[in-house]
Chain A
Amino acid sequence: MENIQQVNLDREPKAPLAMDPVKFILWLFLVSIIMLFASQTSAYLVRRAEGNWLEFEMPKIFWYSTGVLIASSVVMHWAYLAAKKDQFKQLKIAISITFVLGLLFLWMQFEGWKQLVAMNVYFVGNPSGSFFYVFTGLHGFHIITGLIVLVTALTASFRLNVHSKNLRRIQICTTYWHFLDILWLYLFVFLLTFN
């Protein structure tokens, strides 16, 4: 929400009647993603309450990947601050690091799947395992879309289109990336609690 207020301040002296429509669209888009995962996790709980539930321990690598994703979020925020101060070199470095950390996260998730298979937890089988793959897979899909948004921000910053007077793109990118980070934290804690 603070992002939206931010833009109103950015647009002085002609304060518009309402929020920036494009960022508002982003927030509504996030609502639909929240509903997607809310329904998935509640389906998980409903199904789990019925019994016949395979319990397994989450591989350690998911702890590490969580750390990587949090780090990427911090770096993303650094990129945003750099754009606000017109520090273009830092901006480019920061977005690139975020991108690489995002890729690393995806790779670690994939490694996690391999370890699950090694533990005899398969996608096809008891729904407890299937749900685990669906959650991580759906989130991974959204991370890929986040990476695409990052690439557009990166190319824009190379064309010097991201600066303190034109922050919308980097703000959208930051909001989305933080959102994906928080979404993963939710899924991670959820899967730890209700394994």
Chain B
Amino acid sequence: MSAVEGMDTAHVDAHEHHHESQNFWQKYIFCEDHKIIAKQYLITGIIWAVIGISMSVIFRIQLGMPDSNLSWLKPVLGGWISETGKLDPNFYLALVTMHGTIMVFFVLTAGLSGTFSNFLIPLQIGARDMASGFMNMLSYWFFFLASVLMFASLFLQTGPAAGGWVIYPPLSALPQAHPGSGAGMTLWLASMAFFIVSQLLGGINYITTVINLRTRGMSFDRLPLTIWSFLITAVLGLISFPVLLSSVLLLIMDRHFGTSFYLSDIYINGEALPNVGGSPILFQHLFWFLGHPEVYIVLLPGLGITSEVIATNSRKPIFGYRAMIASMLGIAFLAFIVWAHHMFVTGMNPFLGSVFMFLTLIIAVPSAVKGFNYITTLWKGNIVFTPGMLFSIGLVSLFVSGGLTGIILGNSALDIQLHDTYFVVAHFHLVMGAASAFGLFAGVYHWFPKMFGRMMNPTLGQIHFWFTFIGIYLIFIPMHYVGIAGFPRRYYQFTSYDFTHKFMDMNMFISVAAIFSFLAQFIFLWNFFYSIFKGKRAPLNPWRSNTLEWTTPVVPGHGNWEGEIPAVYRWSYDYSKPGAKEDFIPQNIPYSQTLESNFPHENELIATEKEIEAQNFNDQFNSH
């Protein structure tokens, strides 16, 4: 706050002095520096990912090998494993719920957006820090508080929330409905309330920083696509998270104050509850108005990271820069008007259903534009297969194959058959879960040198990629078939139905693939933590990339650049430009220095360079 508030130089001096005398707490714990906050988000996200994915392995064992003896999990799960080594069915539901909640919100929203928006926005737009370091710090610590509450709920005697990550009432509203709907649900709601606050604080900061603190010459049409994606993601969050807060608020009222927003005419053991006049469908409308944009909040940062990594490692300009921005804007706009496709089976008016179906299918258009643009960027490029690049190409593959089943599910007639089956599970895990996770991996491999000043081991990275990539497809392609066969999701076991018997081996195969992919992640964990301390020292610009973050020192200090912030004269995709000496021209090189490779219209831009240099820096340290 103070960095942007003072108009007098005395204040600025005091501010700089303040930062020289940081103690341990200010430097590493309640830190306002965007790079430290990004690392805090990343490490917290990784811890949550380990917890969340471990949960999925436990319920995959239950589903694939229903006869197995789980006694070896007793030291961790205690009473949730019965004397005979069986998983408690109530805890199975809790595991499914917590896996969804943790992965969607804590890993792929906070861990992905929180890490890379924080880390890359100031570095790539040429700013000293976020607009408000204080709000940024608060954002992380609200997330931390949300994490603590959610983590604590895992240890309740009645178990954590278990009504599915979508927490539909009345299941989530009535403590009688399920053991997890008591204290576990209360903690879930409290945790999510803090999480929403955290996301709003963070998102408001991202938007403000991108719009107001760009360096000289960094016009919107020169912004890297990563920044565009973070900006659009933050806008989506700003508009949709308050709606989730709204629905959570009314649910809390129903649970704790006896109102009837979502409850009506419910009988328990033959006795009527006093609640009259509520509508459970109302909750679904409110929830999915967040829930659907949330899908894109999770996915768009991954797509932005992929654009950057693919262009850099194909040594080619991104194909269709403007089309990429337009398609992201299109996806973001459509995200708000398709929520009811999650509710085709709620007794919705079929005409309304077909309207939402139509809008849903339109999303295929901007998505296909993105898919084609990635592939045409790769086309005839001098591809460098760094681990980051492999994961980016993997993302494109998952995005396409998961997106295709989206077209099937978007049709209301087909959705009525496939709703709540494993087909849906397979679809969204490919297109949103795995694709975003691949974006996260791509980002970590690509920007690790900037974060920690060291390189990750590329061979281990490539092994990690192939194991994960093959593992993901081995899990989710068979899962589509299981879904078409009619397996409903969230069932504890399938041993008591005739039609499920012939698919038991397929279910077991999926579980084995899941365990294999889970184990492959330890390669990454080892590589990540080992490289932080012992990795090879990183050069200034290891990927020979154009964006501004590579003009900072190897490990940027507070304020990112020593001396002046560089000015920007060109877009960030001048790779392999005909006539240029090198196959990349960073954004801070003026056209007047690259006469040999300029296009005619770029020669005209030389005249504007003086103008750019004369502009105000937007330097938070000394501009005022």
Q: Which residues of A contact B (CB under 8 A)?
A: 14-22, 24-25, 28-29, 31-33, 35-36, 39-40, 43, 46-47, 50, 52-53, 123-127, 130-131, 134, 138, 166, 168
Which listed residue, B205, B240, B259, B289, touches A124 by the CB 8 Å rule? B259
CA distance A14 to B131 in the complex (A): 19
Within 8 A of A (CB), among B574-624: 615-616, 618, 623-624
B279 touches A24 (CB 8 A): no
A43 touches B246 (CB 8 A): yes
State A35–B200 Cα separation when bound (angstroms): 12
Q: B residues within 8 A CB of A21?
A: 4, 131-132, 208-209, 212-213
- CB pair B204 A43 closer than 8 Å: no
CB neighbours (8 Å) of A127 from chain B are 259-261, 277-278
5 tightest CB-CB pairs across the interface, nearest first? A35-B242, A21-B131, A18-B212, A39-B243, A39-B246
Using A17-B615, A28-B207, A43-B285 as known contacts, say yes or no to A22 and B5 having CB atoms under 8 A apart.
yes
Contact B618 A18 (CB under 8 A): yes
**B108 to A: closest C-beta gap in Å:** 21
Question: B135 at the A/B interface (Cβ < 8 Å)?
Answer: yes
In the assembled complex, 19 residue pairs joining A and B whose CB atoms fall closer than 8 Å, in A order, are A15-B616, A17-B618, A21-B131, A21-B213, A24-B207, A25-B132, A25-B205, A29-B204, A32-B200, A32-B242, A39-B246, A39-B289, A40-B246, A43-B250, A47-B279, A125-B260, A126-B260, A131-B261, A138-B249
- Interface status of B239 (Cβ within 8 A of chain A): yes
Report B's interface with A, CB cutoff 8 A.
1, 4-5, 7, 131-132, 135, 200, 203-205, 207-209, 211-214, 216, 238-243, 245-247, 249-250, 253, 257-261, 276-279, 282, 285-286, 289, 615-616, 618, 623-624
Given contacts A21-B131, A134-B253, contact A31 B238 (CB under 8 A): yes
Given A16-B618, A21-B208, A24-B212: A126 touches B276 (CB 8 Å cut-off): yes
Given that A19-B211, A43-B285, A126-B277 are known contacts, is A28 also in contact with B261, CB under 8 Å in the complex?
A: no
How far, in Å, is A149 (CB) from chain B's closest CB?
15
The CA of A62 and the CA of B276, in the complex, are separated in Å by: 27
Q: Complex Cα distance A24/B286, Å?
A: 27
Q: Which of A15, A24, A32, A39 contacts B211 (CB 8 A)?
A: A24
For the complex with contacts A24-B131, A47-B278, 20 further pairs of A-B residues with Cβ separation under 8 Å are A14-B624, A15-B616, A17-B212, A21-B132, A22-B132, A25-B132, A28-B204, A32-B200, A32-B238, A35-B239, A36-B246, A39-B243, A39-B247, A43-B286, A47-B261, A47-B282, A123-B259, A124-B260, A126-B276, A130-B253
Residues of A within 8 A of B286 (CB): 39, 43
Question: For A40, what are the chain B residues with a Cβ–Cβ distance below 8 Å?
Answer: 246
Chain B residue numbers with a CB within 8 Å of A125 are 259-260
Complex Cα–Cα for A23 and B212 (A)? 11
Give complex CA distance A168, B624 in Å: 14
A52–B243 Cα distance when bound, in Å, is 25
Complex: chain A residue closest to B215, CB-CB: A17
Query: With A and B bound together, what is the CA distance between A134 and B618 in angstroms?
Result: 43
From B4, B205, B261, B289, A130 is in contact (CB under 8 Å) with B261
| Cα of A127 to Cα of B279 in the assembled complex, Å | 10
- Alpha-carbon distance between A123 and B618 when the two chains are bound, in angstroms: 51
Interface of B, helix, strand, loop or mixed by DSSP: helix
How far apart sit A53 and B260, CA to CA, in the bound complex (Å)?
12
Residues of B within 8 A of A22 (CB): 1, 4-5, 131-132
Residues of B within 8 A of A18 (CB): 211-214, 618
Q: How far is the CA of A28 from the CA of B253 in the complex (A)?
A: 27
> In the complex, what's the smallest C-beta–C-beta distance from A136 to chain B, in angstroms?
14
Residues of A within 8 A of B200 (CB): 29, 32
A72 to B286, CA, bound (A): 34
How far does the Cβ of B250 sit from chain A's closest Cβ, in whole Å?
A: 7
Most A CB within 10 A of own CB, among B209, B276, B279: B279
Distance (whole angstroms) from the CB of A55 to the closest CB of chain B: 13
Please state if B213 and A39 are interface contacts (CB–CB under 8 Å). Answer: no
Query: What is the bound-complex CA distance between A29 and B480, given in angstroms?
Result: 42
Taking CB atoms, residues of chain B closer than 8 Å to A17 are 212, 214, 216, 615-616, 618
CA distance A127 to B254 in the complex (A): 10
Q: Is the CB of B131 within 8 A of A28?
A: no
- CA separation between A71 and B35, bound complex, in Å? 47
| B residues in contact with A16, CB < 8 Å | 616, 618, 623
Min CB distance B508 to A, Å, is 44
Minimum CB–CB distance for B102 against chain A, Å? 24
With a CB–CB cut-off of 8 A, which chain B residues contact A124? 257-260
Look across to chain A and name the residue whose beta carbon is closest to the beta carbon of B241.
A32
Instruction: Give the interface centre of A22, A32, A33 by most chain B CB atoms within 10 Å.
Output: A32
CB distance from A122 to the nearest CB of B (A): 9
- Report chain A residues within 8 Å CB of B247: 39, 43
How far does the alpha carbon of A46 sit from the alpha carbon of B618 in the complex, in Å? 46
Q: How far is the CB of A88 from chain B (nearest CB, A)?
A: 20
What separation, in Å, do the CA atoms of A3 and B289 have in the docked complex?
31
Residues in B with CB closer than 8 Å to A138 are 249
Residues of B within 8 A of A20 (CB): 212
Chain B residues with CB under 8 A of A46: 279, 282, 285
Query: Which residues on A sit within 8 Å (CB–CB) of B258?
Result: 124
CB within 8 A of A123: which of B203, B216, B257, B277?
B257
What residues of chain A lie closer than 8 Å to B615, measured between beta carbons?
17
- The smallest beta-carbon distance between A18 and chain B, in angstroms, is 4
B276 touches A33 (CB 8 A): no
Of A21, A123, A134, A168, the most chain B CB neighbours within 10 A belong to: A21
Min CB distance B396 to A, Å, is 32
Bound-complex Cα distance A126 to B277 (A): 6
Pick the contact of B204 from A25, A39, A52 — CB < 8 Å? Answer: A25
Residue of A nearest to B205 (CB): A25
Q: Which A residues are in CB contact (< 8 Å) with B616?
A: 14-17
Closest Cβ of chain B to A67, distance in Å, is 29
Nearest-CB distance from B195 to chain A (Å)? 14
State the CA gap A14–B622 with chains docked (Å): 12
Max chain A Cβ within 10 angstroms of own Cβ: one of B205, B216, B250, B285: B250
Given known A17-B618, A43-B246, contact A25–B277 (CB-CB < 8 A): no
Docked CA distance A24–B212 (Å): 8
Give the docked Cα–Cα distance between A35 and B238 (Å).
Answer: 8
Residues of B within 8 A of A14 (CB): 616, 623-624
Q: Which residue of B lies closest to A29 (CB)?
A: B204
A50 — which chain B residues lie within 8 A by C-beta? Answer: 279
Q: Indicate if the CB atoms of B250 and A134 lie closer than 8 Å.
A: yes
- Tell me the minimal C-beta distance from A25 to chain B in angstroms: 5
The 8 Å CB contact of B242, one of A15, A39, A52, is: A39
Tell me, rounded to whole Å, the shortest Cβ–Cβ distance linking B564 to chain A.
15
State in angstroms the CA–CA spacing of A189 and B5 once bound together. Answer: 38
CB distance from B242 to the nearest CB of A (A): 4
Minimum Cβ distance to chain A for residue B232 (Å): 14
